Structure 1
Amino acid sequence: MLLNLNMAELLNPHIQPVELAKAYRLLNHGPTVLVSAQHEQEANVMTAAWACALELVPAKVSVVLDKSTKTRKLIEGSGYFALQVPTLKQIELVQALGSISQFDDPAKLEHCHTPLFHFDGFNLPMVEGCAAWLICELIPEPHNQQVHDLFIGKVVAAYADDRVFRDGHWYYHEADPSWKSVHHVAGGHYYTIGDAVDANKS
């Protein structure tokens, strides 16, 4: 079931917009992300380990998407995608969405029990329970996409859960450990983000 932002706010009043000039901070710590896309009546979500901030103003991001993925085809069709920062409590969903191809299982999202909603004004499936969401307009770069599988997007909207990100900063050190971001290494093996260290303190 897809919910719009108004309904999502009722379910989770902690979702707050993020200033686009600070959207890069949502990805700067290198988390594994969930990539969402929709084209016409087809929607999908996949897991990606290679995503990063690319530019501050205007905010841009990059993500590597293999040619074999359905999500990539949906992005090429619609020109939009979303990057989401999942949490430790979603680790089984993260692994499942990265292990099953929608080409093999058209009902992938249902079989993975993926909870979805929509932000008003954007026809993209968003995953509930994440720590952050970045909505991106594809900047077409045919050479990079075909040769390097590299997709670039302009961030047009960003949101975060204020229990773990607010005022432009992550607060992992204050939140419950279940809110920690996950970082894929290989073969279903992940790390979570570690302790905060301030290099400015003597």
Structure 2
Amino acid sequence: MITRDYLEKVDINKAYRLLNLGATCMVTAEYNGDTGAMPATWVGALDYNPTKCTAVIAKEHYTRPLIEKSGYFAIGVPSVAIAKELFYLGSVSKNDEKDKLEKSGAEFFTLDNSKIPLIDGCIGYLIFKVIPEPHNEQVYDLFIGECVAAYADKRVYKNNHVCFDGVDPKLHTLHYVAGSHFFALGDELKGDGFGLDE
């Protein structure tokens, strides 16, 4: 498996660090046996103790009513290894193709007692309970969630920090620009001055 065999639980008060990367995220949800998955770039950390996030999910997306009905959603932080699957899931709507998830080639699984599908190949997963804010949701398509569980790939997430030093480049995160244009996260810079003057 790409990541699921390497997952460890993460302190939900520190899980916001998975979102600080600014990576493209995978939003998934489930309601009454129906599942949805969609990439999203407008996802960010909002608070900690426990971690909270914001996610902009437009009304036309199939995944949105699943979130509204269930009151929960998950955020995955995809790696380069599943770029093809992520791009497909963002190019096709389940409103048009009911077998979108199967056609994507992505592998899905669940963790613990959650029914929310998670896509294999993410370096981290956060499960959120919706904090209802009807005005924001209707006017701005903006959802707020409180983290109830979090997991990360121990090859990448160590001592409550993401670290790509010496890690297979396929485990680096994806960052969306526009169209089919993405970047993979680059080299790590540390310390005062970041070594740029050397």
| TM-score bracket relative to the smaller structure | over 0.9
In the superposition, the TM-score normalised over structure 1's length comes to 0.92
Q: Take 1:144 and 1:188, find their aligned partners in 2: how far apart are those partners? A: 29
| Residue 71 (structure 2) pairs with residue 79 (structure 1) | yes
Identity of aligned residues (%): 41
**Structure 1: gaps (5+ residues):** 1-7
- Pick from 123, 130, 139: which aligns with 2:131? 139
Q: Take 2:107 and 2:155, find their aligned partners in 1: how far apart are those partners? A: 19
| Residue 29 (structure 2) pairs with residue 19 (structure 1) | no
Partner residue in 1 for 2:153: 161
Output one character per residue of 1:80-100: Cα deviation in whole Å (capped at 9) or x when no partner.
Answer: 000000001111111111111
**Structure 2: gaps (5+ residues):** none
Q: Take 2:50 and 2:122, find their aligned partners in 1: how far apart are those partners? A: 24
Structure 1 residue 12, shift from structure 2 partner: 4.2
| Residue 98 (structure 2) pairs with residue 106 (structure 1) | yes
Go from structure 1 to structure 2 and tell me whether the alpha carbon gap of 1:56 and 1:67 turns closer, same or farther (over 3 Å shift).
Answer: same
Partner residue in 2 for 1:149: 141
- CA-based RMSD of the aligned residues comes to 1.4
Structure 1 residue 180, shift from structure 2 partner: 0.7
1:69 maps to amino acid: H
Structure 1 residue 40, shift from structure 2 partner: 0.4
Matched length: 193
- Pick from 121, 124, 128: which aligns with 2:116? 124
Structure 1 residue 138, shift from structure 2 partner: 0.6
1:14 maps to amino acid: Y
Partner residue in 2 for 1:192: 184
Output one character per residue of 1:152-179: Cα deviation in whole Å (capped at 9) or x when no partner.
Answer: 1000000001011121111112201111
Structure 1 residue 13, shift from structure 2 partner: 3.6
Q: Take 2:148 and 2:29, find their aligned partners in 1: how far apart are those partners? A: 15
Output one character per residue of 1:56-88: Cα deviation in whole Å (capped at 9) or x when no partner.
Answer: 112101111011001011000100000000001
2:162 maps to amino acid: W
1:21 maps to amino acid: N
1:182 maps to amino acid: L
Partner residue in 2 for 1:44: 36
2:128 maps to amino acid: C
